[in-house]
Amino acid sequence: MTLMTLTRRDFVSTASLAVFATATAANALNLVESETARSSTAWRIGLVQSAPWDIELSRMQEDTTRNLARMLEVIDRQGPECDWLAFNDCPLTGRSISMEPSATQVEALRAAARRHDCAVSFGCGAGHRALLVSANETEVQYGPLVSLNGRRIAIVSAAQSPIATTTLDSARVEMERALQQGAEALLIMRSGPNAEPTWIIDIAAGLPLLHVSAACDTHIPGHTSDWLGGTRARDTHGLTLGHIAHAEEGVLQVQLYFGA
């Protein structure tokens, strides 16, 4: 695995973002061959470990505009290198509220995805399903089971935010249902300091398992130093292909190879 450190100006121009690191796995995730997949090509995935900035109700418009700008900047910087950029479960909303993006916000994300011919997935806070915005799709897809380049991908949040209305048991039910419906890979979104449930490894046995976590920025109100990040990717055998070994903001790049 190679590690490259990028300056703020190299990665983003938004002052709130810290230095990012990009790690590329030397190995690849192996999936079952599908006729509809991109043959003989590598599907490049960027797992975005970003720090969630919360939204104050009195500043709803300003704060959501700020968070959207941060996402768009990441897409513009990393999109040319990725086929799929996967954010954590609250890049737009922060951990303080839960809501679906507006049509204007979705269109802005779609336009960025189209500029770089990539897909973008992200969560919308507790109680909302993950969204997938694709460059070549007119409709937004909602998790937990989405289709991307002919592959069925399960995208589930395994975090309990301060306003969580459901327990992690419901996340387990979502994962199991998606796998029963033919999910070929599993993406787990997390934010906050809670420990990851051990049963996730058992449920995902035999499948590629991607984890995208929130980063820690102690300059942001509410962030604490025990947020460990932990964004990583494992192959079908449970071997770690790459990980971000710190809690700072970063993008982990791994490759998913499709058969000819």
| CATH architecture type of domain 19-257 | 4-Layer Sandwich (3.60)
Which run of H or of E encompasses 201?
helix 199-203
Please write down the long-range contacts of 201-207, taking CB distance under 8 Å and 24 or more positions apart. 201/238, 203/172, 203/175, 203/176, 203/179, 204/175, 204/179, 205/238, 206/236, 207/179, 207/183, 207/236
Cα–Cα separations (whole angstroms), residue 20 to 106, 120, 225, 250: 25, 19, 18, 4
Distance of alpha carbon 175 from the chain centroid: 16
Q: Over 50: is that where the pLDDT of 76 sits? A: yes
Give yes or no for a contact between 253 and 118, defined as CB atoms under 8 angstroms apart.
no
pLDDT(200) > 60: yes
Q: What is the pLDDT averaged over residues 100-129?
A: 90
Q: Where do the domains of the chain lie?
A: 19-257
Question: Measured over all CA atoms, what is the biggest interatomic distance in the chain, rounded to whole angstroms?
Answer: 53
Task: Reply yes or no on whether the pLDDT at 32 is more than 50.
Answer: no
% helix / strand / coil in the chain, to the nearest 5? 25, 30, 50
How do residues 139-165 score in pLDDT, each as one tens digit? 889 989 999 888 899 998 876 544 444
pLDDT score, position 245: 86
* pLDDT tier at 226, thresholds 50, 70, 90: low
Q: What is the pLDDT of residues 163-199, one digit of tens each?
A: 444 456 677 888 888 889 999 899 999 876 656 667 7
